[in-house]
């Protein structure tokens, strides 16, 4: 029975569990909101992520956290976590793995998606209006103000999931946001998603995730956005390579 997750009926059972648990978790988050505000999401959602990891056989570990400055580890200094993106499992795994609350940057259309959008609103996700350039710029400035106000943010600079495992070209919006907000970027790697939930599949497979974080990158230390982007990309690539080695060990 130890390998039931690798069978066809095990995959169906895991999918049904996920479909059934999402509405329950979202309902719990919304019921907690009047009493706990945004804290309700970050009290409940990580429990869901860890429960999913246990039930589906997807344990995850966090590497490098202890090497970050104490102000970041305790949530006193807001930062932008920038990660590679291999799977739809990356967001819930990061919610479960990161010890400090961190919200995502999302298109405003997500706000209207049942369950997911409701949970995103309760979490304080920063919604960006990409309808036209002027509105997008205003959205970036508003997001920067929220980060300066204390929000940690997670951004996937590729903009979408990689289908090959290699990183896609980075988009500049997240780096403009970091410069505007004046906060450090934490290079982050998530490894394991391609095996656990490959692109285009709904079939969860048991497997180990490794999340690795690197040392902070200060945007003010780089002469321009391209130099900043190149440095962060190089660090993420290095973290991915290290995490793959850790996962294979």
Tokens representing 105 are: 């940057």
pTM value is 0.92
Alpha-carbon distance of 200 to 88, in angstroms, equals 10
Q: List, in sequence order, the alpha helices (H) in the chain.
A: 8-36, 39-56, 70-73, 90-97, 116-123, 133-148, 173-181, 193-196, 225-248
Domain that holds residue 112: 4-248
Q: Contact 127/146 with Cβ under 8 angstroms?
A: no
Within 8 A by CB and 6+ apart from 212, the residues are: 62, 63, 64, 188, 189, 191, 239, 240, 242, 243, 246
What's the pLDDT at 236?
A: 97
Looking at residue 129, which CATH number applies to its domain? 3.40.1130.10
- Number of domains present in the structure of the chain: 1
Mean pLDDT per 10-residue section of the chain, whose length is 249 residues: 75 83 92 93 92 89 96 96 93 94 86 88 85 74 90 91 82 92 96 85 85 97 96 97 81
Helix axes 8-36, 39-56, angle to 10 degrees: 170
Tokens representing 160 are: 């979408």
Q: What is the pLDDT of residues 221-237, one digit of tens each?
A: 999 999 999 999 999 99
């Amino acid at each position: 029975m130890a390998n039931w997750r690798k069978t066809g009926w095990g995959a169906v059972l895991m999918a049904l569990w996920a479909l059934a648990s999402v509405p329950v978790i979202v309902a719990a988050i919304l019921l907690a909101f009047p009493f706990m505000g945004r804290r309700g999401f970050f009290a409940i959602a990580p429990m869901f992520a860890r429960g999913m990891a246990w039930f589906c056989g997807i344990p995850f570990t966090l590497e490098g956290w202890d090497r970050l400055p104490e102000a970041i580890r305790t949530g006193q200094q807001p930062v932008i976590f920038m990660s590679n993106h291999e799977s739809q499992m990356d967001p819930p795994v990061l919610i479960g793995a990161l010890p400090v609350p961190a919200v995502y940057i999302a298109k405003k259309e997500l706000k209207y998606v049942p369950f997911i959008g409701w949970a995103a609103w309760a979490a304080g996700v920063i919604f960006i209006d990409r309808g036209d350039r002027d509105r997008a710029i205003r959205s970036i400035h508003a997001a920067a103000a929220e980060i300066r106000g204390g929000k940690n943010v997670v951004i996937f600079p590729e903009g979408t999931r990689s289908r090959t495992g290699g990183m896609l070209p980075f988009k500049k919006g997240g780096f403009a946001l970091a410069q505007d907000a004046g906060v450090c970027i934490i290079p982050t790697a998530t490894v394991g998603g391609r095996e656990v939930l490959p692109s285009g599949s709904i079939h969860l497979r048991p497997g180990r995730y490794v999340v690795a974080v690197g040392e902070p990158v200060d945007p003010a230390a780089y002469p321009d956005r391209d130099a900043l982007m190149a440095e962060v990309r190089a660090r993420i690539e290095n973290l991915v390579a290290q995490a793959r080695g850790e996962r294979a060990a």
